[in-house]
Amino acid sequence: GAVVSQHPSWVICKSGTSVKIECRSLDFQATTMFWYRQFPKQSLMLMATSNEGSKATYEQGVEKDKFLINHASLTLSTLTVTSAHPEDSSFYICSARDLSTGTNEQFFGPGTRLTVL
Amino acid sequence: AQTVTQSQPEMSVQEAETVTLSCTYDTSESDYYLFWYKQPPSRQMILVIRQEAYKQQNATENRFSVNFQKAAKSFSLKISDSQLGDAAMYFCAYRVSGGYQKVTFGTGTKLQVIP
């Protein structure tokens, strides 16, 4: 299947700083990528849909000014957590939709663990 | 709004035995996909099996099969000949057909495999 990578896999930052997480589709083009957040022992909650060349669509309750999403190319989307605070500590997962498959299958990255001190 | 419900937070099965994980969903759509994803301790989400709602035949993938009851909006996963590597969180998920539709996940079932 198609491969989606995330970088970094693990990051620790100080409160008040910003952190950027990259999501890349390695062997297919993804006009749409999705960003999820997963708290320990909980399910994946969709934060936003990232659209190449246009603004991201945020889910209700997600602060778009805090979680900046940029989808500058067909293979890269970035999520920037601005002015991070300890409550932003979580596991962030991206996924990309491969529209070349008949079922538009979604492939997930390995996730990024963010710890804010 | 679409919702996905997994009523079993945890399940356990003896190695080589069979276990069934339950999932129900709520939707007013007629054309959609249902999925079971596995999330091992590595946290990498792995697609286990997929079912198209318009197909009456239940999907199977080796030791994994589903019981899809469209009228009852039920989508259970059966794991046969359970192996130690099957131990993981299992998420049931739903998506309306269409390239840009989001996936809604259930709360997950933690499966323990007992040697």
H/E run at residue A78: strand A76-81
Rounded Cα–Cα distance for residues A88 and A54 (Å)? 25
Rounded Cα–Cα distance for residues A66 and A114 (Å)? 15
With contacts defined as CB-CB under 8 Å, which chain A residues touch B43? 38, 91, 93, 110-111
Q: Determine the Cα angle at B108 with ends A27 and B75, to 5°.
A: 85
Range with top average pLDDT, A26-35, A46-55, A75-84, B90-99: A75-84
Beta carbons within 10 angstroms of residue B43's beta carbon: 16
By three-state DSSP, how is residue A86 classified? Answer: helix
Which tens digit of pLDDT belongs to each residue from A62-111?
999 999 999 989 999 999 999 999 999 999 999 998 777 666 678 999 99
Q: What is the mean pLDDT of residues A6-13?
A: 97
Beta carbons within 10 angstroms of residue A104's beta carbon: 17
A40 is written with which tokens?
Answer: 């320990």
* Contact between residue A46 and residue A34 where contact means Cβ atoms under 8 Å apart: yes
Instruction: Tell me what pLDDT residue A91 has.
Output: 96
The one-character DSSP state at B22 is: -
Cβ separation A97–B99 shorter than 8 A? yes
Instruction: Tell me what pLDDT residue B82 has.
Output: 98
Q: CB distance from A67 to chain B under 8 Å? A: no
* Contact between residue B88 and residue B42 where contact means Cβ atoms under 8 Å apart: no
Residue A41 has pLDDT above 90, yes or no: no
| Residue A30 pLDDT grade (very low, low, confident, very high; cuts 50, 70, 90) | confident
Spatial CB neighbours of A32, under 8 Å, sequence gap ≥ 6:
A49, A50, A51, A52, A96, A97, A99, B99, B100
Cβ separation B45–A108 shorter than 8 A? yes
Distance between A3 CA and the closest CA of chain B, angstroms: 11
Q: How are beta strands B10-14 and B109-114 bridged, if at all?
A: parallel
With contacts defined as CB-CB under 8 Å, which chain A residues touch B59? none
Q: Provide the residue-wise pLDDT of chain B in tens; the chain has 115 residues.
A: 689 999 999 999 999 999 999 999 999 988 999 999 999 998 999 999 999 999 989 999 999 999 999 999 999 999 999 999 999 999 999 998 875 678 999 999 999 999 9
Choose among A116, A108, A117, A114: nearest CA to A46: A108
**Backbone phi, then psi, for A116, in 5-degree steps?**
-110, 120
Instruction: Tell me what pLDDT residue A102 has.
Output: 66
Instruction: Tell me what pLDDT residue A76 has.
Output: 94
